[in-house]
Structure 1
């Protein structure tokens, strides 16, 4: 990444709270794409949210809806491995990779980030 993309947003979803996922992360990410608030929306699953995403069928339905709306879903591999859920996340169309360098690049390049 050489420069910041003005109309790109990354949402870092770290909370294991189902209510936070449904009423904050998923609602905003989906509406941001459907309403054109951001051209590019990515949800980065980080920490305890990985376990929730991999094991909760209702959360997986929401994730499928976000993908249909054009939201990219990614997850930190180290976090997913720590919870033993990397394969389950990949089965639900989440790109799983070591995200430390990726996140550092976003921050250094002044990208737009929200954390829940």
Structure 2
């Protein structure tokens, strides 16, 4: 098993825009830009996915993150439940089933932070 101790997966599940803007996205983007971890990924999950499709400011932040090379993934099941799969794809987000990848992150020793 490869050591992923210096890898961070941030699970953004909150539908609260203040949590998104003032904590989750700011920390995640800076962790990537400042190389606080070897690899950083943002996982958009549940209510955060719906919030993202309704909030232009958050969409712009996600575009900046993607433009800076940060990996952004979203749960396909959640996106399907909310009917927003196409909107997330249009933002450039990798929409896929996330149960197996998250389990792999956990088993492989990634640091996992949830907002």
* Offset at residue 69 of structure 1 (A): 2.5
How many pairs does the alignment contain? 115
What TM-score do the two structures reach when normalised by structure 1?
0.93
1:13 is matched with which residue? 12
2:42 is matched with which residue? 43
Instruction: Quote the Cα distance in structure 2 between the aligned partners of 1:56 and 1:50.
Output: 10
Do residues 56 (structure 1) and 55 (structure 2) align? Answer: yes
Instruction: Quote the Cα distance in structure 1 between the aligned partners of 2:103 and 2:93.
Output: 20
| Partner secondary structure for residue 70 of structure 1 | coil
Instruction: Quote the Cα distance in structure 2 between the aligned partners of 1:24 and 1:3.
Output: 30
Instruction: Quote the Cα distance in structure 1 between the aligned partners of 2:39 and 2:11.
Output: 14
| Partner secondary structure for residue 12 of structure 1 | strand
Do residues 26 (structure 1) and 2 (structure 2) align? Answer: no
Instruction: Quote the Cα distance in structure 2 between the aligned partners of 1:5 and 1:111.
Output: 5
Are the equivalent residues in 1 in contact too, given 2:43–2:74 (CA < 8 A)? Answer: yes
| Partner secondary structure for residue 43 of structure 1 | strand
Instruction: Quote the Cα distance in structure 1 between the aligned partners of 2:31 and 2:7.
Output: 10
| Partner secondary structure for residue 11 of structure 2 | strand
Task: Write out aligned runs for 1:26-105 (5 A).
Answer: 26-105=25-104
Could you report, residue by residue, the CA deviation over 1:20-66 in whole angstroms, capped at 9, with x for unpaired residues? Answer: 01111111111112211112110001110010112211110010111
Q: CA RMSD in A?
A: 1.1
Instruction: Quote the Cα distance in structure 1 between the aligned partners of 2:49 and 2:111.
Output: 22
